[in-house]
A = this chain, B = another copy of it.
Amino acid sequence: MARDERGPTAQSEDFSTWYNELVVKAGLVDRGPAKGTMVIRPYGYRLWELLQSELDRRLADTGHENAYFPLLIPESYLRREAEHVEGFSPELAVVTHAGGKELEEPLVVRPTSETVVGAMMARWIGSHRDLPMLLNQWANVVRWEMRPRMFLRTTEFLWQEGHTAHADEAGARAETDLALGIYAAVARELAAMPVVPGRKTPGERFAGAVETVTIEAMMRDGKALQAGTSHYMGTNFARAFGIRYAAADGRDTLCHTTSWGMSTRMLGGVVMTHGDDRGLVLPPRLAPWQVVIVPITRGASAGEVVAAADELAARLRAAGVRVRVDDRDQTPGWKFHEWEMRGVPVRLELGPRDLAAGTAVLVRRLGDAGRETVPLAHVPEAMPGILAEFQTHLLERATRFRDEHTRAVDDWAGFAAAVARGWAVALHCGRPACEDDIKAETAATPRCVPLDGRADSGACVRCGAPSAYGRRVIFARAY
């Protein structure tokens, strides 16, 4: 069958193709002209803006100030921190010519901004009175991708990157945890993603970090998505860039720094956490339109019905609901299908008979929900509650799914079975060679050592050597 004839691929049929088709078809994103780039279309960008504004507010409330650092960074800056340059070199895009000439020193397009922020902090920080310095920037970054995938791995993506400098380790570690806490809250409360916060094992740390903490989310194919990370850098970057301060007693002291980021990758996470065979399912708090009203117009009554739909929309807007009236020249069935595919939480159908009866038909975008007749007069006051309930339901459903696909395992056969369909929670020796071996056998990698894991120790699930970390580790295939 030709591609266009056979309709969209179902999630249950081929998860990967379902995702790749859906994000484009739903109008979230499109492929850009240069390899691996994406265009974020208005429907996807609005989702990002809604996430962004809430995250920005929480960062401001905790004392962070927004700033903006340059996109182009002298190549030599990256080399000042040895692990950092090693980690990022393979992914760099490099400007070698500008203004019609070859540059004396190539400029890299920022893959992340620790180096340039470090150089500036070194200039700005003089005394302990300047600390902590809590900065954040909203920016684009470029990391060359061999196997791009919309939102998850693209040559360019949007994110915020926090960069902070502190007088000591305790301050910097508290900041690292604070940022992760904000990410976890935003993921749960806005994206309805029941993320697991945990520590990365040494092999999975950010290039140049002393410690990386992460929130890991489970997608509906059982894979893990790293949805946000926060890094304690120790004095590595402070030493490389000279971020020093005069302590109260006058001593010249190195700062301890952190960085942390959350990106447009989250949009892919929302798609793969809640979507189903019919398309997207958007959490109300991130849905560009939380409610769509479809007027069922036939002949003479059309004007009256559309007017009533517009009036209902105005009342919903006054109640703080993001609503759209779809009065386009298409059949109701076409519109139902379109808005289901695009994941709008609630659809209201309004026809002449409904109008006469003073009711509307309400349909929730949930796998198991039926049609419900509701009195028109009560719709606006009821809607915030209906949306809040929808939001809660998504988080609960995703939590159930995650728990049903997570297994504590103590033997290799159980481990392999667990990571084939979800997450394995296992004891591990912590040796890089053993991690590599597990990855070669199952494609699974250590995602994190959950912060709330109980003390546990014993034999490594793979090699039988004594376990590390004092706790179990989550292993999974990952995006």
Contact = CB atoms under 8 A, between A and B. Distances in A.
Q: How many copies does the complex hold?
A: 2
Nearest to A66: B45
A72 interface: yes
A120 B72 contact: no
Max count, chain B CB within 10 A of own CB: residue among A99, A124, A144: A99
Contacts of A156: 70-72
18 contacts: A30-B124, A32-B70, A39-B68, A39-B70, A40-B68, A42-B135, A45-B67, A48-B68, A49-B66, A68-B158, A71-B140, A89-B100, A93-B95, A93-B97, A93-B98, A97-B106, A98-B144, A99-B146
A120 B98 CA distance: 26
Contacts of A123: 30
A109 interface: yes
Given A39-B70, A45-B67, A94-B98, 14 more contacts: A33-B73, A37-B70, A37-B71, A37-B72, A39-B68, A39-B69, A40-B68, A45-B68, A70-B156, A71-B140, A72-B142, A92-B98, A97-B106, A98-B144
Contacts of A92: 98-100
Interface of A: 30, 32-34, 37-42, 45-46, 48-49, 65-74, 77, 89-100, 106-107, 109, 116, 119-120, 123-124, 129, 135, 139-140, 142, 144-146, 155-156, 158, 328-329
Contact of A99 (B38, B65, B144): B144
Contacts of A116: 32-33, 39
A41 to B, nearest CB: 6
Contacts of A140: 71, 139-140
A115 to B, nearest CB: 9
Given A45-B68, A66-B42, A68-B40, A74 B33 contact: yes
Contacts of A42: 65-67, 135
Contacts of A77: 33
Max count, chain B CB within 10 A of own CB: residue among A45, A72, A135, A145: A72
A430 to B, nearest CB: 30
A48 B137 CA distance: 13
Contact of A107 (B34, B38, B69, B99): B34
Ranked nearest first, the 7 interchain pairs of A and B with the lowest CB-CB distance are A99-B144, A37-B70, A42-B65, A32-B70, A40-B68, A93-B98, A94-B97
A34 B120 CA distance: 12
Contact of A90 (B30, B48, B91, B99): B99
A95 B94 contact: yes
Contacts of A49: 66
B39 A67 contact: yes
Contacts of A135: 42
A95 B109 CA distance: 9
A71 B33 CA distance: 11
